[in-house]
Amino acid sequence: MLPQDPFARFAAWFAEAEAQEINDANAMTLATIGLDGTPQARIVLLKEVTPAGFAFYTNQQSDKGLQLAKNPKVGLLFHWKSLRRQVRVDGVVHQVSDSEADDYFATRAKVSQLGAWASDQSRPLDQRATLEARVAEAARRFGDGPVPRPPHWSGYRVVPSRVEFWQDMPFRLHDREVFTRDGESWRSVLLYP
């Protein structure tokens, strides 16, 4: 029997994906609306999932950060090819607290922390050497001490309004179930494939 709560179902499927996917079971496509109104999609990494939502982290001055500031409605897609499953999530992003962002930033590799200071994410880069020089400058700036979180780097939590679970089945007669938020609870329906 499958869990009737979308977060419990996701946790069960995610645990299987972590055990079986070769790379990045936590990779998810994040779809936003561009500043010009066109859809934009890219892969980001899920860093936490709780009943509050799905969290990821990024540079707020990046294209996606600017898009999220203008329109917080997003879509997520997890595709676990080896399991022949996918999960779609529709919802609204909310910025995580400063303390949550600080805590997660402190767990990152030091080079990744330095890169957050060095990169003007999504902006033109004249050559790779420029980025490497900026990382080296950040390393000199912070030395052997801890690297603080840049003020333009934080996290977002996608609070879902809809979660769809898709399981591949023979002859394209797939299983699909959609959970939609109904106040504080969820209701689910099956969909034709």
Question: How many residues does the structure list for the chain?
Answer: 193
Residues near 186 by beta carbon (within 8 Å), at least 6 away in sequence? 4, 5, 6, 179, 180
How far apart, in whole angstroms, are the C-alpha atoms of residue 38 and residue 34?
5
How far apart, in whole angstroms, are the C-alpha atoms of residue 160 and residue 92?
7
For the question of residue 172 being annotated catalytic, the response is: yes
Q: Residues 108, 172, 176, 181: which is the catalytic one?
A: 172
Structure tokens at 113: 């922390």
Strand boundaries in 101-174, DSSP class E: 153-167
Q: 3-state DSSP call for residue 175?
A: strand
Structure tokens at 111: 């080079």
Cα–Cα distances in Å, from 189 out to 21, 71, 110, 168, 182? 28, 28, 45, 17, 13
Backbone angles phi, psi at 104, to 5 degrees: -65, -45
The catalytic residues are: 172
